[in-house]
Structure 1
Amino acid sequence: MNSIQQNIEQITSQIESAQQKCGRPRESVQLLAVSKTKPVDAILEAAHAGQVAFGENYVQEGADKVAYFNEHHPELELEWHFIGPIQSNKSRHVAENFAWVHTVDRAKIAQRLNDQRPAGMPPLQVLMQVNTSGEASKSGLNENEIFALAELISSLPNLTLRGLMSIPANVSDYASQLSAFKQLAGLKDALAKRFPDEQLDTLSMGMSGDMEAAIEAGSTMVRIGTAIFGARDYSKS
């Protein structure tokens, strides 16, 4: 069984290979280690292997981990991303603890995150979640809703709009994966033209099973969990 460090090295090599294959420059894709349900010891091992950015899905669990590392390992300067659904009554914890949030899909949540961001913290880096597959079971904006929410976010002083995120349908064939990711990339390009003053440079898309297609389509951030940390234990979540 590989160590977390070996897993990170393997994933990093796969990212570099995918970048090279489609002619993208090295280090154009960031690895986001999805650490939900994982103990702080596993995150610490990943951090000592050079991993900086970590993604959490559960608000209280993520906030507890942020507090732990701020207190016990501030020298690591980890970057925390919230990548789960946001309930209104939990938005304050997201605003107070995370550097990035990937799942903004409602004006109410955007406004609450802005209003609850503590004074003195840098603006919260925001991605809007898009439902590219049209599945009723998945959160996210449809194409017609993106620009109105972007208009609001760009007007809020404590938020910085950085791009889009999606969780497409779970399909195994490469062509279908690529098509879904290209759809999101096209929406991000259209958004960048509509809002030229915003730093719209981020596409959070791609996981273990579809990472290569995501990178070919233009992903700048892939979200990898089990391939780094092993199978998750949901009994404690």
Structure 2
Amino acid sequence: MNDSQIADNIARIQERILRAAERAGRAPQSIALMAVTKFHPAEAILDAYHAGIRLFGENRVQEAQTKYPPLRDSLVGSRLHMIGTLQKNKINKALGIFDALEGIDSVEVLEAILARLSSRTEPIELFFELHTGEESKAGFPSLDELLRACDLLASFAAENREEGRLVVLRGLMTMAPFTTDERAIRHSFSMLAAAKAEVAQRFDFVHFTELSMGMSNDFEIAIEEGSTLVRIGTALFGERA
């Protein structure tokens, strides 16, 4: 896919975001568009950047480590999120590459991240993933488990003032089931929105504002249900190689 096709696709997605936001009575500016670059080459990343994209997502630490460090000087003002499941043995590398880690799905992974924060000079943003119906069963299996992680993070920040400033809970993320059943998709997204409200009520995380939900096949529904960040790959870049 060439640069003009990617630019056209971005424009079409942004128009659909605008319409979905209008249906929901929301400001389109409140919704960020992430370009998911898994299995797509560096050239596609640069084309998306030149077309206005400033937020990128990768699923795997190793692929991100290969592609992004050589590009970062050319992607001024951009941010890179890890949106896949993070294995504990990849945490050190992830902390050196990403600006945010979205797939935090267990207390054990959170503990491992907190133990390695000394490698950071800038804060790392975290998104806790809640399992809401996607078949892979990624994410915290219940709201109670997610709240337990929130409690751990709040306690860590209170007890470790210096390292506590290096970790920021930015929001929650989920994957809806891959289905044509709109009710099931909406239920998944509304579960995450309810979880965000519960966390906000119980904890005082200053920067906790984001709902990362919605992909190429369901992002308009996600926006109608409150998403602030949609993760789009195929609709921007075409099918992965």
Q: What's the TM-score, normalizing by structure 2? A: 0.90
Gaps of 5+ in 2: 158-163
Tell me, yes or no, if the aligned pair for 1:33 and 1:53 is still in contact at 8 Å.
yes
The equivalences for 1:1-237 within 5 A come to 3-70=5-72, 72-73=73-74, 76-117=76-117, 119=119, 121-133=121-133, 135=135, 137-141=136-140, 142-154=142-154, 155-156=156-157, 157=164, 158-233=166-241
SS at match of 1:160: strand
Q: Which moved more, 1:170-179 or 1:218-227?
A: 170-179
Q: What's the RMSD between the two structures over aligned residues? A: 1.7
Cα deviation 1:7-62 (Å, max 9, x = unaligned): 11110110011001110012111001100111111100000001000000010111
In the other structure, the counterpart of 2:160 is: none
Q: Across the two proteins, how many residue pairs are aligned to each other?
A: 230
**1:69, CA displacement in angstroms?**
1.4
**1:73, CA displacement in angstroms?**
1.5
Q: What's the TM-score, normalizing by structure 1? A: 0.91
Tell me, yes or no, if the aligned pair for 2:134 and 2:175 is still in contact at 8 Å.
no
Cα deviation 1:142-187 (Å, max 9, x = unaligned): 1220111011223241211111111121121323221221111011
Letter in 2 for 1:144: D
Letter in 2 for 1:9: A
The percent identity for this pair of structures is: 36
Instruction: Tell me how far apart the structure 2 counterparts of residues 134 and 4 of structure 1 sit (CA, whole Å).
Output: 28
Tell me, yes or no, if the aligned pair for 1:192 and 1:198 is still in contact at 8 Å.
no
SS at match of 1:54: strand
Tell me, yes or no, if the aligned pair for 2:177 and 2:184 is still in contact at 8 Å.
no
SS at match of 1:199: coil
**1:103, CA displacement in angstroms?**
0.6
Letter in 1 for 2:25: G
Cα deviation 1:109-156 (Å, max 9, x = unaligned): 222223334556321110001101275x32111122011101122324
